[in-house]
Structure 1
Amino acid sequence: MDKIKFGTDGWRAIIAKDFTVYNVARVSQALAAWLKQSHQAPVVVIGHDCRFAGELFAETATQVLCGNGVKVLLAKGFVSTPMVSFGVKAKNAQQGVVITASHNPPSYNGYKLKGAHGGPSSPADIAAVEALIPEQVTIPSANLKDLEAKGLLEYIDLETMYIDYLHTKFDFEKLNNAPYKMAYDAMFGAGQNVIRKTLPAAVLLHCDYNPSFEGTAPEPIHKNLLQLSQTMAETPELKVGLATDGDADRIGLYDEDGNFVDAHHIILLLIHYLHKYKQLNGKVVIAFSVTDRVKKMCAQYGLDVQVTPIGFKYISEIMVSEDVLLGGEESGGIAIKGHIPERDGIFDGLTIYEYMMETGKTLKELCEEIYAVVGKFAYERNDLLLQEEQKLRIIKEAQDGVYTAFGKYKVERVETIDGIKYHLDNGGWMMLRASGTEPVLRIYAEGNSQEEALDILEAVKKTVL
């Protein structure tokens, strides 16, 4: 059998090729064995997103876990990853499982593990489960009704629980009467019902069930959100556009002119709002690919900063044990104080919406507020689909110190926490990192303007290709 490997955020594979009922059963058997090593009566919350056969795979995990004497709380219908993480904590369960491939293309599905703290399982726990995955497994034949009758299975309405919780965190009466209206693009993902039910005046895009995602990967980056951008630009009463990915744990934003507001800006906006307006403190934890402007802002605000490898599990681990104001990734995964230690695109979006309402400022004006603190900057990213040998050649050359300049941009120093990050003589930076789940080389670049960031990307491509 193929070896199943968990990447930065779970195990992902192509449906019917490697992501099969049998392989899902193998992982579930390992999870059951691991849980029973340290718990007498473990409880697991299971949910699936909107991807093809999500229900089938969630039921397979349920059958295997229940067959091993593990009680399962199974979500009704599709749910977001934050809903499962919230449910684990709210129900005092020992573990959560989300059947999702997050932002990956529609041909993928995946298996995420969530810890008792309400966030990603720790790297050590994930490695321990991975080590127990058997070559062979017998899938129990018990049907779900029998498991329910035996008390091993209970159905749970995670979406209603989550929405009720949001009502304790946000004043929806105020938000629904805000002069600034919102557009929301669910990207056919699992967050689609939440905004519909909490902000009925919002303009909704791609908020229906479509497991093919119309052929577009449900990742909230500009090239995948052109309709949201156009809607914002053409509708004067819309002042903020929110997008979330397939399992609704990542965020993308648009301002009133239809301009994309990336995760670096969102992280800075949230730190600024939480600290300067809400008077909250704590450490800021960021992944290696996040802008150094965060360090600049935190230095001015007297906040500690810690940089982690890429993968939210590293950030969540720190959030559980320390006082953390915000944890964030370049890819749009952000967790904030006062919520679970989990990325949550909807919670983050509502916080930005609240910030706009409290200040009476548009998103564009709020970005000017952070530029006054850290200076104006722009960020761009290219994902290059390459042959494996070409990808490995570029990474090896980078690790061997072959690249000392990219066109006119000279390298001043290099960091290698996770990927290779080059700090450039113009005050910007660029970074090379191979994807752990796709045949992709990611190139990240920051400049003092969008033109400069794009120019850095072109210079990098000319140099490495």
Structure 2
Amino acid sequence: MLKFGKDGWSAVISDEFTFANVRQVATAVAGYLIDRKLLDKPLIVGYDARFLSEKFAETAMKTLAETGISFLLTDRDVPLPVLAWAVGDRGAAGAFVVSAGGLPHQYSGIKFIPGHGQSALEYQSGLNLPGRGQAAKSKLERFDPRERYLKYAEASLDIDAINKAKPKIVVDPMFGSGRGYLDLLLQRAGCQVEEIHNWRDVLFGGLAPDPKEANLQELKAKVLGNKAQFGFALSGDGASFAVIDGQGKYSPGHESPDAILACAKIVEKTAAVL
């Protein structure tokens, strides 16, 4: 029996995480949407940078399409906090996300982000998806949430203070979905930014995409070598972070619903004293 908790479901690819089990979880989500009469709202479908993530997402979407719901499918892998923000921004029923956070590369997972005011998904096995006949025709729209998200994030920052300080920052998305987000946000704010590990690698360079200190030795070396004020590492799904300061000291990131904006807020706070 699959276990779908508050943090979603994850398993080893081709062992328990199979296309058949993805369809089973998608059926449970479909039942959730039907029970709560949410089919009039679009459902966001996103995925991370792991092996076959987009294919698993497409498989889930085919099952969910039997409800007749419309979809907003991301045009590339997208950080989890951005997808959560997009649910509210687009007035969506929720977001179905293929993602396994900072787990090793052989894992994949599924998270369901409910819309505002909804209760979290309670997974039930053996659900039968009600047939809706040929009247159920889903619509698909591909979308890129990055620009709208970055404008939202910029509006939450004191851009003038950051731009005046022009701090040096190194960003490490750990080959994950955060690439092209935090670095661009900080560049627009006036920071001098270098991004490392900024391409998709389904093996994550041989390390788990988890921003633990042992996994950030290259980031630490870059911060010290560049005489940067900060180095920021994002987990594979961009949902958690860690900080390397200008002296090379490691600090795990605090709990935050938006790790990307939390990193930028640290820069904003420090900019006033640089």
Compute the TM-score of the two structures, normalised by the length of structure 1. 0.54
The one of 181, 184, 196 aligned to 2:171: 184
The one of 155, 171, 189 aligned to 1:168: 155
* Aligned positions of 1:273-422 closer than 5 A: 328=255, 334=256, 343-360=257-274
The one of 224, 231, 244 aligned to 1:254: 244
Partner of 1:58: helix, strand, or coil? Answer: helix
8 Å CA contact retained: 2:29, 2:121: no
* Aligned positions of 1:93-172 closer than 5 A: 93-117=92-116, 122=119, 125-127=120-122, 130-131=123-124, 133-134=125-126, 152-172=139-159
Distance of 2:58 and 2:159 partners within structure 1: 35
Offset at residue 160 of structure 1 (A): 2.2
Distance of 1:177 and 1:20 partners within structure 2: 51
Structure 2 segments unaligned to the other structure (5+ residues) = 130-135
Aligned-partner residue type, residue 47 of structure 2 = H
- Residue 221 of structure 1 is matched in structure 2 by 212
Distance of 1:198 and 1:358 partners within structure 2: 18
The one of 16, 24, 30 aligned to 1:26: 24
Aligned-partner residue type, residue 229 of structure 1 = K
Compute the TM-score of the two structures, normalised by the length of structure 2. 0.89
Higher relative contact order (CA 8 A, sep 6+): 2
The one of 219, 231, 238 aligned to 1:241: 231
Distance of 1:151 and 1:211 partners within structure 2: 31
Quickly say closer, same or farther: Cα 1:91–1:224, change in 2 above 3 A: same
* Aligned positions of 1:64-79 closer than 5 A: 64-79=63-78
Distance of 1:47 and 1:198 partners within structure 2: 21
Distance of 1:234 and 1:212 partners within structure 2: 26
Q: CA offsets, 1:284-333, max 9 Å, x none?
A: xxxxxxxxxxxxxxxxxxxxxxxxxxxxxxxxxxxxxxxxxxxx3xxxxx
Quickly say closer, same or farther: Cα 1:34–1:7, change in 2 above 3 A: closer
* Aligned positions of 1:37-76 closer than 5 A: 37-39=35-37, 40-76=39-75
- Residue 425 of structure 1 is matched in structure 2 by none
Q: CA offsets, 1:76-131, max 9 Å, x none?
A: 1110101111111111111111110000000001000101129xx74xx322xx12
Offset at residue 234 of structure 1 (A): 2.5
Segment of structure 1 superposing worse, 99-108 or 62-71: 62-71
- Residue 376 of structure 1 is matched in structure 2 by none
Quickly say closer, same or farther: Cα 1:75–1:344, change in 2 above 3 A: same
Distance of 1:46 and 1:235 partners within structure 2: 38
Distance of 2:176 and 2:98 partners within structure 1: 13
Distance of 2:153 and 2:29 partners within structure 1: 30
Aligned-partner residue type, residue 126 of structure 1 = L
8 Å CA contact retained: 1:32, 1:70: no
Offset at residue 30 of structure 1 (A): 1.1
8 Å CA contact retained: 2:65, 2:138: no
> In the alignment, does 2:216 pair up with 1:197?
no
Partner of 2:202: helix, strand, or coil? Answer: coil
Offset at residue 181 of structure 1 (A): 1.1
- Residue 304 of structure 1 is matched in structure 2 by none
Offset at residue 198 of structure 1 (A): 2.6
Distance of 2:20 and 2:262 partners within structure 1: 36
Partner of 1:183: helix, strand, or coil? Answer: strand
8 Å CA contact retained: 2:9, 2:110: yes
- Identical amino acids, percent of aligned pairs: 30
> In the alignment, does 2:4 pair up with 1:9?
no
8 Å CA contact retained: 1:186, 1:244: yes
Supply the RMSD in Å over aligned alpha carbons. 2.3
Structure 1 segments unaligned to the other structure (5+ residues) = 138-146, 268-327, 329-333, 335-342, 361-465
